[in-house]
Amino acid sequence: MAIDRETITKIARLARLRLTEEEASAYEGQLSRVLEAFERISSVSTEGVLPMVTPIEIESELREDKIIVFEKNQEALSQAPELVGRLFKVPPVV
């Protein structure tokens, strides 16, 4: 699929770009080649090919959740400059 100068001009206008004639001509050729590459990719038959997320089959190893009691709560809370109940008070973050 070739892309024409009118399409290049429209894309440039939408992107608020000012292109010289030389730049528009260069982009016209480059985008035409990119679209042709996508057309070739689209024409490849994928019938019978399973979808693939990664090229290497990897399974995540899951571990059992374990509750670990933190025994130094009071020590940690005593280091805070300001508390709200048993929680650290921090400045708002935007």
Q: Is residue 86 part of a domain?
A: no
Inside any domain, residue 94: no
Our CA angle for 63, 86, 64, nearest 5°, is: 5
The CATH number of residue 32's host domain is 1.10.20
Residue 38 lies in a domain: yes
In a structure prediction context, what are the per-residue pLDDT tens digits for the chain, which is 94 residues long?
678 999 999 999 999 999 999 999 999 999 999 999 999 999 999 999 888 888 888 788 899 999 999 899 889 999 999 999 989 999 999 8
For the CA atoms of the chain, what is the radius of gyration? 29
The pair phi, psi for residue 88, each rounded to 5°, is -70, 135
Q: How many domains does the chain have?
A: 1
Check: pTM over 0.85? Answer yes or no. Answer: no
Residue 37 lies in a domain: yes
Question: Is 22 inside a domain boundary?
Answer: yes
Answer whether residue 10 is part of any domain.
yes
Domain extent, residue 11, equals 5-42
Asked whether residue 75 is assigned to any structural domain, the reply reads: no
